[in-house]
Chain A
Amino acid sequence: MTKTIFKRPKSLKENIFHYCPGCGHSIAHRLIAEVIDEMEIRDVTIGVPPAGCAVLAYNYFDVDMIEAPHGRGPAMATGIKRVLPDRVVLSYQGDGDLAAIGIAESLHAANRGENITVIFINNAVYGMTGGQMAPTTMLEQKTTTTPAGRHKSLDGYPVKVCELFSQLKGVVYAQRCTLTSPAQVNKTKKAIKKAFQCQKDGLGFSLVEILSPCPTNWKMSPVDACKWIDEIMSKEFPLGVFKDDSTTTKKDREAV
């Protein structure tokens, strides 16, 4: 007798990912799809993919999706969620999308406590356009637009999204995770599930930041890329739960 122990989540289409070998997007996609399946929310989920490497996410997710202009995902998600408050609305964003061109839309959606979930892929570089500096690029990190390395006096410092957003009262949940080992992958999945649960419970803005490898633009092997996250990137961007007001917010809501 055979037992299925691994299969494609129902919320993923039968398409092969176009992402580079060792890229974190495909793992993040799979985790989101698994969570959608497990929570049985495929029928009510609406996703908003960003401009960037994940722009073709609608080729992979078997849920309703609408592509946002660069950085505007949370504004679009706001429009969708306000019209359809009982749907689960997901904005999938990269570091340029969330922390540079779309920081106003992202920060204010969070500050309004929009009841949406943002999955934030932080790979410290602009992937799709070929490896330019991102707002989360590390100091000294070489990119095509910081050929001598990111310099604090010229380029500023890496933007710490979880730290920044967790200051906002509208944010109910913010966690930073990574994908560098099976244990970390499992943690990330739990974080995504928790974020969706916050939304289902109507608690407010939930954010999961994922430190994600980009071997192509980092010019590293996939193994070295994971090592770089563990040894360097996660020192600047520490992993962990930055905010979890879900229990108190839930109690407050129930009291009302």
Chain B
Amino acid sequence: MNKFLMSGNSIIGEAAIRAGCRFYAGYPITPQNELTEYMAEHMRNAEGGIFIQSESEIAAINMIAGASAAGARVMTSSSGPGISLKQEGISSMAACELPGVIVNIMRGGPGLGNIRPSQGDYFQATRGGGHGDYRTIVFGPATCQELADLTMDAFDLADKYRTPVMILADGMMGQMMEPVIFKKPKPRNYSENFMLRGAGDGKSKFIRGLILDAIDMEEHNWKLARKYSVIGENEIRYEEHNIDKSELVIVAYGTAARIAKGAIKRLREHNKINVGLFRPITLWPFPELQLRALSRKIKNFLVFEMSTGQMLEDVRLALQGYATVWFHGRPGGAVPTPAELANVVARYYDKKD
């Protein structure tokens, strides 16, 4: 297998095309422009590949919704402010059960914020984000290799569950370069029955999100909820790192988890203390039971995020008061060094039970 040195944004694009994505629509926004540009350059060489620079984020998400209904594998990407605009369409795709992949290369917020790496969109991503009662599967990759692997998996899961899937990375992940190997994509498994391609000789079909009857709408909501609970049972992913001999475990995802690994190494070498890492890879569904199981032997957790504390709430819910939960955060595009985090962890380590 060939190894490539590529930036995170380009890796997502390449993985998507290899996974059979043939429709991409997007609007320029930093720090994800390289992904849009990669798709512009490479979609035209992919058989049947379609690239559209849309007039807005709203148009982009609705274009991919239409293309998805027509049967294509579809993707759009953006960063915080643009993802906010896409929420109408994400909600609509969830309601209409249309598969698609949405990439959020997070930047500092709220509002226009800045263009530096941040993790402030965790709530928006993991709580559905748009209006109504729905969830999206959310991946939080922490390496360029994971960007490649999870992008491909995102398309498979979107098809399998007929639901939008979000890749939640940040400006650091999008801009950094690492060597990557592209795995062989699985063949697409998606029924023609779900595609809207003209009635042909058969009965006409329709796809709708508006269901005026309350009981019918309730049933549709429960149908989606049942699907989400199946996803919760089958699709949880996480990584445990250096847990065994540790009395304190950091909980972090994405770039923050990379920093945490650096801090853990430093703490072992310089401070001679053992600290573990629990890294959710699926942010929704959140590895709640897996984290709770850890609290049988570990009583001290430190949530580290590049935000003022969002995943923190999921960690507290998961641990249900069985362990102490501390928090360290750097919002607004400030990225702490492993040394800074190691100092913070060492302070908490002295306070642990």
Selected contact of A63 from candidates B68, B89, B198, CB within 8 Å: B198
What is the size category of the interface that chain B forms with chain A?
35 or more
Within the complex, which residue of A44, A67, A68, A112 is in contact with B206, where a contact is CB–CB below 8 Å? A67
Interface residues of A, CB < 8 Å — how many?
36
- Whether a CB of chain A sits under 8 angstroms from the CB of B96 is yes
B59 an interface residue at 8 Å Cβ cutoff? Answer: yes
User: Nearest chain-A residue to B66 (Cβ)?
Assistant: A79
When the two chains form their complex, are residues A105 and B206 in contact, meaning their CB atoms are under 8 A apart? no
Instruction: Check B199 for interface membership: any CB of A closer than 8 A.
Output: yes
Q: In the complex, which residues 17-35 of chain B have their Cβ closer than 8 Å to any Cβ of chain A?
A: 22-23, 25
B197 near A104 (CB under 8 angstroms)?
no
A46 surroundings in chain B (CB, below 8 A): 70, 196-198
Q: Annotate A102-115 by CB proximity to B: 1 below 8 A, 0 otherwise.
A: 00110110001000
B83 at interface, CB cutoff 8 A: no
| B208 and A75 within 8 A (CB) | no
Q: What B residues does A211 contact at CB under 8 A?
A: none
A87 at the B interface (CB under 8 A):
yes
Closest chain A CB from B98 CB (angstroms): 9
CB distance from B193 to the nearest CB of A (A): 12
B209 at the interface (CB under 8 A from A): yes
0/1 string, B37-67, CB within 8 A of A gives 1: 0000000000000101011101110111111
Within 8 Å of chain B (Cβ to Cβ): is A242?
A: no
The reply to whether B59 and A104 contact each other, CB–CB distance below 8 Å, is: yes
Within 8 Å by CB of A72, from B59, B198, B204, B207, lies B59
| Complex Cα spacing A82 to B205, Å | 20
Contact residue among B50, B92, B199 (Cβ-Cβ distance under 8 Å from A83):
B50
Scan residues 118-174 of chain A and give those whose CB is less than 8 A from a CB of chain B. none
With both chains docked as a complex, state the minimum distance between the C-beta of A114 and any C-beta of chain B, in angstroms.
Answer: 10
A77 CB, nearest partner CB in chain B, Å = 6
B196–A72 touching, CB < 8 Å: no
Residue B210 CB within 8 A of the other chain: yes
**Residues of chain B within 8 A of A65, CB atoms compared:** 196, 204-207
Chain A interface (Cβ < 8 Å from any Cβ of B): 42-46, 48, 51, 55-56, 58, 61-69, 72, 75-80, 82-84, 87-88, 104-105, 107-108, 112
Give 16 A-B contacts (CB < 8 Å), ordered by A residue: A63-B204, A66-B208, A69-B88, A72-B88, A75-B58, A75-B59, A78-B63, A78-B66, A79-B64, A79-B69, A80-B66, A80-B70, A82-B52, A84-B71, A84-B198, A104-B59
